[in-house]
Amino acid sequence: MNKTICGVDVSKEWLDTHVVPSGAAGRFRNDAAGIAELAAWC
């Protein structure tokens, strides 16, 4: 079984993400709109 892991680094202004094993990365603002974007991105 292949596993996909999405890590999120949380700071006051940003949510930085990295997905293993694909290597995809993203940065989203740490506000309601950014969280909605992150949810759609995952």
User: Mean pLDDT for each 10-residue chunk of the chain (42 residues)?
Assistant: 92 97 96 96 85
What was the pLDDT predicted at 38? 95
What was the pLDDT predicted at 42? 80
Domain carrying residue 10: 5-41
- Count of domains observed in the chain: 1
What was the pLDDT predicted at 27? 98
Q: pTM for the full model?
A: 0.83
What was the pLDDT predicted at 1? 81
What was the pLDDT predicted at 9? 98
Output b/e per residue, 10-41; b: 16+ Cβ within 10 A.
eeeeebebeeeeeeeeeebeeeeeeeebbeee
